Amino acid sequence: MNKNEIVIDGKNYVLKSSIKTVQATKQQIPIKKGKLTFCIIRTYSAGVFAGWINRTVKGMEHTIFNSRRLWYWKTTGLDISTIAEVGVVSDGCKFSEIRAEIDLKQVIEVQPCSKESKVSIERVEVYKNAD
């Protein structure tokens, strides 16, 4: 816990002005409210993503917008259901840069995110593998 965090009844709260957001490396797609939902998306072989998806589309092929690949994460629970509900602990997560648009062919799970989860994912810095 750092100086900008406080724990009340077992929940972490962060000073709003201390939240760092990730800047997109490419042009982001403007999101139309009501049409897309911010979700955690799990695929058969491409991994796990967080981004905006049209949930009315059925089937295994989807396009996600303003998304990040979640390669490694820390959360209070076990799986992406917990990430979608309560979010992640920003230290130690390995997330990619924001991509404007990605086509996924084998989507097998879509979990809508809470506002708390979305904020926690956005404040994770882009993982850099090189020194």
Structure tokens at 51: 């981004």
Q: What pLDDT score was predicted for residue 6?
A: 77
pLDDT 10s digits, 51-69: 999 988 889 999 999 999 9
Q: What pLDDT score was predicted for residue 26?
A: 46
Domain ranges of the chain: 28-122
Strand pairing report for 11-14 and 62-72 = unpaired
Which residue ranges in the chain fall short of pLDDT 50?
22-26
Q: What pLDDT score was predicted for residue 129?
A: 79
**Does CATH place domain 28-122 in 2.30.30?**
yes
Q: What pLDDT score was predicted for residue 68?
A: 96
Distance from C-alpha of 46 to C-alpha of 43, rounded to nearest angstrom? 6
Q: What pLDDT score was predicted for residue 18?
A: 58
Q: What pLDDT score was predicted for residue 24?
A: 47
Calculate the dihedral angle through the C-alpha atoms of 96, 75, 82, 76, rounding to the nearest 10 degrees. -170
Q: What pLDDT score was predicted for residue 8?
A: 80
Distance from C-alpha of 23 to C-alpha of 123, rounded to nearest angstrom? 10
pTM over 0.85: no
